[in-house]
Amino acid sequence: MKVYVLNMREKPLMPCSPRKARVLLKEGKAKVVRRSPFTIQLLIATGETVQPITLGIDPGYSNIGLSAVTEKLEVFSAEVELRKGLVKLNSNRRMYRRIKRNRLWYRPPRFLNRISCKKEGWLAPSIKHRFDSHIRIVNFVKSLLPITKIIVEANNFDIQKIKNPDIKGVEYQEGAMKDFYNVREYVLYRDGYQCRSCRKRNTGLEVHHIESRKIGSNSPENLVTLCIICHKKATKEDIKFSKSSRGFKEATFMSTVRWKLVEALKAEVTYGYLTKLKRKELKLFKSHINDAFVIAEGMTQTRLNVYSVVQNRRNNRCLQKNRKGYKPSIRRQRYNFRPKDLVVLDTRILKVAGVHGYGKYIRLKSSRTNKTTDKKISYVNLLKYNRGFCFV
């Protein structure tokens, strides 16, 4: 374990041992500014000599590997789990906004103003959120350590090659839907113009989305041919189908943001095949942490315990109520405590599991016993908000 140190101007210095941190705190020469990862700030003027530190980043669609190493040891190691379900949440937000705007009888139309998607470098909201999450977590590490060099693994995925390893030349232009007017026509032809459930022919056919259009795509793998009767049953989830493939969200994401990430971080570039070769030389198993260690040019350095980081929702969305004839009311904060915040109850540090009873009661969870208890909200005191990235 390492304790991260900031100087009087909140600039990062080299980390120290827990014993050294205890001595500084006991003598009143430092104060605690963060619990996890444990960080102290010096209250006295000191030298600012630092060593070269290389930060290796193994980016990903759902997980990020981070490793910072010096010549002798690893000083930071973490695996970040990014949020899931963003596409569905964005779809719900769009629905709520449309309903709200339809109720605003005094508001002029603004649908012609939204041209951000035509700007160069525009990213879809879910992709931009993951891209921004990469930038935020790297900036957080840079606030703890004097990083001198950043190396990012930039991979480009050939989706056509993944589907068909033998593809080459002109075959890239001759996909499965060649000579078909649209996706619907291709799906009907692929399924033999018959219902995939009851196998009926010569009847009205519909093309059904296996995953809802909210979270799914219009690719042929997500479409199936059904008759009108079976389509009604599938809409009510009386009939269920499984997708023929997982899709290529991860590969598409990395191919889209790899150079944007390198440019935003002003980082050096390495590639997946080099990481794999070095990892095998060091006899390390495949993981985001080990890949990040290899990317950071780690060899014989002493390894560090890994932080498990989970990205949480901030739960601070503004809620607006519109009533005809009244001024719109905006509720900016619902409760003072949110899930995974840390609070103090009778000298015990507990984690918030939720708030109920219109904010009068709080549900607390112990990290040791994993049991929950309900207390009045006036009995607890806030210790730390755990919004954004939560270190475990």
144 pLDDT band (50/70/90 cuts)? Answer: very high
- Which CATH number does 54-84+123-157+249-311 carry? 3.30.420.10
Which 3-state string (H, E, C) describes 165-227? CCCCHHHHHCCCCCCCCCHHHHHHHHCCCCCCCCCCCCCCEEEEECCCCCCCCCCHHHEEEEE
The 8-class DSSP code of residue 95 comes to H
- Of 178 and 229, the structure prediction assigns the larger pLDDT to 229
Q: Average pLDDT over the chain, rounded to whole? A: 85
**Whole-angstrom Cα distance, residue 298 to residue 291?**
10
Region 4-15 average pLDDT: 94
Q: Average pLDDT, stretch 109-130?
A: 75
Sequence-separated contacts (24+) of 81-88 with Cβ below 8 Å? 81/308, 81/309, 81/310, 81/311, 82/130, 82/133, 82/311, 83/129, 83/133, 83/311, 83/312, 83/313, 85/215, 86/125, 86/126, 86/129, 86/130, 87/126, 87/214, 87/215, 88/214, 88/215
If you average pLDDT over each of 21-35, 76-90, 363-377, which comes out highest? 21-35
Q: Sketch the domain layout of the chain as residue ranges.
A: 4-42, 54-84+123-157+249-311, 170-235, 335-392
pLDDT category at 315 given cuts 50, 70, 90 is: low
What would the CATH number be for the domain defined by 335-392? 2.30.30.140
Q: What is the pLDDT of residues 47-96, one digit of tens each?
A: 888 999 999 999 999 999 999 999 999 999 999 999 988 888 888 888 87
Per mean pLDDT, which range of 40-49, 113-122, 163-172, 174-183 is the poorest?
113-122
Report the pLDDT value the prediction gives residue 82, as an integer from 0 to 100.
93
Q: Return the pLDDT at 70.
A: 94
- State if pTM tops 0.75: yes
Q: Which residue has the tokens 């980390």?
A: 15
Q: Confidence band (pLDDT; 50, 70, 90) for 316?
A: low
According to DSSP, residue 248 is labeled S
The residue among 202, 240, 324, 275 whose CA lies nearest residue 56 is 275
Kindly give the residue spans of alpha helices, DSSP state H, lying in 48-85: none
Of the candidate ranges 58-67, 274-283, 305-314, the one whose mean pLDDT is the lowest: 305-314
Q: How far is the C-alpha of 206 from the C-alpha of 139, rounded, in Å?
A: 49
Looking at mean pLDDT, say which of 25-29, 89-93, 227-231, 243-247 comes out highest.
25-29
**pLDDT tens digits, 284-304:** 999 999 999 999 999 989 998
Region for residue 89 given its phi and psi (left: phi exceeds 0; alpha: psi -120 to 50; beta: otherwise): alpha
Judged against a pLDDT cut of 70, whether residue 126 lies above it is answered with yes
